[in-house]
Amino acid sequence: MQCFLSLAAMAEMERIDDKFGSRSNGVIAELNRSGELHDIDKETSFLIKSALEIARNTSGAFDPTLYELTKLWGFDDESSEKRIPSEKEIEEALGSTGFSRITFVEESQYVSLADGAMLDLGAIAKGYAVDMAIAKIKALDDGATGFIDAGGDIGVIGPKYGSRPWIVGVRDPRGESVQDVIEYIYLYDGAVATSGDYERFFIEDNVRYHHILDPETGYPSRNGVISATVIGKSAMLADAYATAAFVTGMEPGVTFLPRFGALVLLVMEDMSTFKSPGFEVYQER
């Protein structure tokens, strides 16, 4: 049964990736090619609506229109050449970014992109895939326990042995391996996601260039944060708000995120940490 549940979860996550990946032949790739879509399905509508809501909540720190910039830096795919774009290239790409360039009409199931904008739901779809995989597992076995780890996005299926928390280690951003941990949290349910400058990056002239781009500058975010971990009720929300927390930075930046159900742990360049009020509750057994 366990093997069957794992296969079902993997199939669901692959379905989400195929459908919402910007490089695939799914609905988002189709939107980027055509510039508009009519009669989008409810799942696509939900994900776009959620992305726009989080973008508004974070004043654009989370921005789902950075695909052109991501491609410029070579972070759209592992095989893409990593490079520092010219200032002119970045300026031109910024001319087609910004979530205000997305028109979404839920009632008529319509979405369009203005000024050459391209949608990239990567910072929210991975978490959503975790949520949907958990839903699939629970539909097949309501008593299932465990968790799903999708490379930095962790969603809890159910408590350990039905009553105990899962212990999740927050990776040391400057550790030598994933086994190097800087903090621990304890989860009975919900999800946790981490965005860090160690995930996808390249170094040129002793400068680290990472994949978490600042929507205002078009360059990798530089505000002293090297890792942002968010605890949320769903992996989708934790995933997106972790990206926003990384870009927003420390107080007064991330202090507003708990109002949206996102509890934040920031690790700074000097290895100091900042925790939003309430985060410490999840560090107690």
Annotated binding site for Mg(2+): 123, 239, 243
Cβ-proximal residues to 63 (8 Å cutoff; 6+ apart), any chain: 55, 97, 98, 99, 215
Q: How far apart are alpha carbons 276 and 189 in whole angstroms?
A: 19
3-state percent helix, strand, coil for the chain, nearest multiple of 5: 35, 25, 40
Return binding residues: 123, 239, 243
Tokens (6 digits) for 145: 């326990």
Q: How far apart are alpha carbons 116 and 124 in whole angstroms?
A: 21
How many residues are recorded in the chain? Answer: 285
Residue in the structure block whose two tokens are 């057994």: 285
Residues pairing with 169 in the sheet: 184
H or E stretch covering 268: strand 263-268
Give CA angle at 84 (83, 87), nearest 5°: 145
Side-chain-facing half-sphere of 99: CA atoms under 13 Å: 21
Using CA atoms, how far residue 9 sits from 41, 65, 123, 236, 285, in Å, is: 22, 28, 20, 16, 28
